[in-house]
């Protein structure tokens, strides 16, 4: 028998203005649970978490907490008022029986000393201090709202290692797919005010969500057809038995009411980039480039690379490594101290900055999209009314006069994307484009970048995004050294034998390498090439070939134009089986490529 929940939110309802934000939402958190709370931006995830933390009172519903259970809540915007140092802020979150040294250890793990003035903290440092405060007491339940926001890759991976063995139950809100895949065991999907639960991790969520939405569409179609049939019967059917007619008319009215009240799934962002004229084949070339700042060691030292038209270049490294400096060198915004920087011909560059600084907070949404001139937006060769273009990015018509300052973080992210997509370009420069974007918008952004005919340079801490988008990754190796790796983030890890390290550890590793010391990455990689990996490397090609044969048989059967008419169930079964075979084949190819690159590194 399952233990009773530590926290149970039941039939939660909350109205904000004219919007019914929550309409019967429910969450049950048991000991050791790992719940991911997912949903579109604006669906009420953060509000539901605040209700669970006791910060907001719902209009209706019950919130039950087991007596004695401890809860800690990580807000998106922590409040440091009244604290002179980060150490004092963390200590204030400890209870009477908590270990006072654990907070200090967590601060050190996040690269902080505890003596920092909260007023001078960067976004990433503030997030680290807030995480140390909620993790230090080791509560029964941790409610974490976007814990990876503003964190660099070393901090994200360190946080994953810290949360993994923790005894606390977790409820996570995050748009970082890799983070959710590694930590979640159950999913709670908040959609149109209600919740659905899947007792599987995030890896299974998207297929389940799509299936639910497809079933809803099928039911809606059936309901519409039933209404048509009933209306036809009322007009032309037999009318001898009036009682029966009255009852059937009442049934039709009930069907119409159900149709009116059915809440439809929210729309999806429709993106299309305004592509400019094609650039030259060579976009940027750096030869022996060095760049530094007065009083500090160079952040880029003797680096050479070439960016060609159509490349998707990812730049990764810890905070302070010089990612922005390298980005400016590649785009010609910054002159090199030494070396040669050559830019290609006919470049039309559009930049998406992570701080959204190019958005004037006093301007309206409409003026931000049109430049303050009229009510028309030009996208490529098309001219669209600004309200229609707003709808493509999930803005409501009544938001046209809303000032930018009143928009949420996710809405500002969508606005920046809308402006970038409407500007003709052949080079997109994206600095942390995934910040505040929900999973569905991220999917569409990835599809857009895949179809974009120009070149993309992106700085990101989102490992899954880099795996899906990047054709090569430039990674910081410490002490101003940068290396170019083929493939996405996972390919880079396979080649180096490690992920992105914190700035201090990366510098130490670079010093060891310069002194001719042992190569820990090589030793790490060798340890990872297990017997299981070797067996998989040998057997995967045969498995891939077998799957392709099976797919060919299914494709041949589905090519029969009479199959669907003669055997609809068989057509559906073959279609689903083909999709599963394709997914299995793609996964096998990715595994083989990862292992083959690892083998080549070990032998090379």
Parse the chain into domains and list their residue ranges.
Answer: 7-207, 211-261, 282-518, 529-603
Report the pLDDT value the prediction gives residue 513, as an integer from 0 to 100. Answer: 47
Report the pLDDT value the prediction gives residue 274, as an integer from 0 to 100. Answer: 54
Strands (DSSP E) found in 427-535 = 427-431, 455-459, 472-478, 481-486
Contacts of 92 (CB under 8 A, 6+ apart): 83, 133
Q: How many Cβ atoms sit within 10 Å of the Cβ of residue 191?
A: 20
Q: How many Cβ atoms sit within 10 Å of the Cβ of residue 344?
A: 18
Query: How far is 369 from 375, CA to CA, in rounded Å?
Result: 9
For residue 58, name the pLDDT band (cuts at 50, 70, 90): very high
For residue 330, name the pLDDT band (cuts at 50, 70, 90): very high
3-class DSSP assignment, residue 344: coil
Report the pLDDT value the prediction gives residue 118, as an integer from 0 to 100. Answer: 92
Mean per-residue pLDDT of the chain: 82
Report the pLDDT value the prediction gives residue 271, as an integer from 0 to 100. Answer: 52
Report the pLDDT value the prediction gives residue 529, as an integer from 0 to 100. Answer: 57
Burial group, residue 397, by CB count within 10 angstroms (0-12, 13-18, 19+)? exposed
pLDDT surpassing 60 at residue 184: yes
The partner residues of 403 in beta bridges, in order of sequence, read 364
Contacts of 29 (CB under 8 A, 6+ apart): 5, 6, 7, 8, 35, 52, 141, 169, 171
Running DSSP on this structure, what letter comes out for residue 337? S
Report the pLDDT value the prediction gives residue 327, as an integer from 0 to 100. Answer: 92
The partner residues of 8 in beta bridges, in order of sequence, read 28, 64
Report the pLDDT value the prediction gives residue 521, as an integer from 0 to 100. Answer: 39
Sheet of strand 34-38: strand arrangement: 71-74, 141-145, 169-173, 34-38, 186-191, 194-198
For residue 90, name the pLDDT band (cuts at 50, 70, 90): very high
Query: Residue 426: which of 469, 457, 463 has the closest Cα?
Result: 457
In percent, the amount of the chain with pLDDT more than 70 equals: 83
Q: Write the class of the CATH domain 282-518.
A: alpha beta
CATH number among 2.60.40, 1.10.3720, 1.10.287, 3.30.200, domain 529-603: 1.10.287
Same CATH topology for 282-518 and 529-603? Answer: no
Q: Are strands 71-74 and 141-145 parallel, antiparallel or unpaired?
A: parallel
Report the pLDDT value the prediction gives residue 6, as an integer from 0 to 100. Answer: 94
Report the pLDDT value the prediction gives residue 260, as an integer from 0 to 100. Answer: 55
For residue 49, name the pLDDT band (cuts at 50, 70, 90): very high
At 439-467, the pLDDT tens digits run 877 887 888 788 888 899 999 999 999 99
Q: Name the phi and psi angles at 287, rounded to 5.
A: -130, 110
Report the pLDDT value the prediction gives residue 272, as an integer from 0 to 100. Answer: 55
Report the pLDDT value the prediction gives residue 515, as an integer from 0 to 100. Answer: 43
Report the pLDDT value the prediction gives residue 34, as an integer from 0 to 100. Answer: 95
CATH superfamily of 7-207: P-loop containing nucleotide triphosphate hydrolases (3.40.50.300)
Report the pLDDT value the prediction gives residue 448, as an integer from 0 to 100. Answer: 79
Interval 202-228 mean pLDDT: 80
Query: Worst-scoring range by mean pLDDT, 62-76, 191-205, 406-420, 426-440?
Result: 406-420
Tokens of 45: 């995830």
């Amino acid at each position: 028998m399952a233990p009773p929940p530590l926290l149970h939110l039941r039939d939660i309802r909350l109205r904000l203005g004219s919007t019914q934000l929550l309409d019967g939402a429910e969450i049950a958190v048991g000991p050791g649970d790992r719940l991911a709370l997912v949903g579109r931006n604006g669906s009420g995830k953060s509000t539901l978490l605040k209700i669970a933390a006791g910060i907001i009172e719902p209009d209706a519903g019950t919130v039950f907490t087991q007596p004695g259970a401890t809860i800690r809540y990580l807000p998106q915007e922590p409040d440091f008022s009244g604290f002179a140092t980060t150490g004092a802020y963390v200590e204030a979150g400890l209870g009477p029986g908590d270990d006072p040294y654990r907070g200090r250890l967590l601060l050190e793990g996040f690269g902080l000393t505890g003596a920092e003035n909260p007023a001078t903290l960067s976004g990433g440092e503030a997030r680290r201090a807030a995480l140390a405060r909620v993790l230090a007491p080791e509560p029964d339940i941790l409610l974490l709202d976007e814990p990876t926001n503003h964190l660099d890759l070393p901090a994200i991976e360190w946080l994953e290692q810290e949360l993994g063995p923790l005894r606390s139950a977790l409820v996570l809100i995050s748009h970082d797919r890799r983070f959710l895949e590694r930590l979640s065991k159950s999913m709670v999907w908040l959609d149109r005010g209600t919740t659905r639960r899947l007792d599987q991790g995030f890896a299974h969520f998207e297929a389940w969500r799509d299936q639910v939405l497809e079933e809803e569409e099928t039911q809606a179609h059936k309901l519409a057809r039933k209404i048509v049939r009933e209306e036809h019967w009322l007009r032309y059917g037999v009318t001898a038995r009036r009682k029966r007619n009255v009852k059937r008319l009442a049934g039709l009215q009930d069907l119409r009411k159900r149709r009116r009240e059915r809440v439809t799934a929210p729309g999806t962002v429709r993106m299309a980039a305004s592509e400019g004229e094609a650039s030259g084949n060579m976009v940027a070339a750096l030869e022996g480039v060095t760049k530094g700042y007065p009083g500090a060691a160079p952040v880029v030292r003797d680096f050479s690379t070439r960016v060609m038209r159509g490349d998707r270049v990812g730049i990764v490294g810890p905070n302070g490594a010089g990612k922005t400096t390298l980005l400016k060198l590649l785009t010609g915004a910054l002159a090199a101290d030494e070396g040669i920087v050559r830019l290609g011909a006919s470049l039309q560059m559009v930049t998406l900055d992570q701080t959204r600084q190019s958005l004037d907070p006093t301007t309206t949404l409409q003026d931000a999209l049109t430049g303050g001139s009229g009510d028309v937006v030009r996208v490529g060769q098309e001219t669209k009314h600004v309200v229609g273009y707003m709808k493509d990015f999930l803005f409501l018509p009544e938001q046209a006069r809303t000032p930018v300052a009143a928009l949420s973080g996710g809405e500002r992210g969508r606005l920046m994307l809308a402006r970038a997509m409407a500007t003709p370009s052949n080079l997109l420069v994206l600095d942390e484009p995934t910040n505040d974007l929900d999973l569905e918008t991220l999917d569409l952004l990835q599809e857009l970048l895949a179809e974009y005919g120009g070149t993309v340079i992106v700085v990101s801490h989102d490992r899954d995004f880099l795996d899906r988008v990047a054709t090569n990754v430039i990674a910081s190796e410490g002490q101003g050294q940068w290396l170019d790796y083929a493939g996405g983030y996972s390919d880079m890890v396979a080649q180096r034998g490690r992920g992105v390290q914190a700035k201090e550890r990366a510098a130490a590793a670079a010093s060891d390498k310069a002194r001719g010391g042992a190569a820990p990455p090589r030793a790490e990689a060798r340890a990872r090439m297990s017997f299981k990996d070797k067996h998989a490397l040998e057997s995967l090609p045969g498995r891939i070939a077998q799957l392709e044969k099976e797919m060919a048989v299914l494709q041949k059967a589905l090519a029969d134009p009479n199959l669907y008419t003669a055997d609809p169930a068989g057509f559906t079964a073959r279609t689903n089986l083909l999709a599963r075979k394709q997914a299995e084949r793609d996964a096998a190819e990715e595994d083989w490529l990862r292992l083959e690159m690892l083998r080549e590194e070990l032998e090379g």
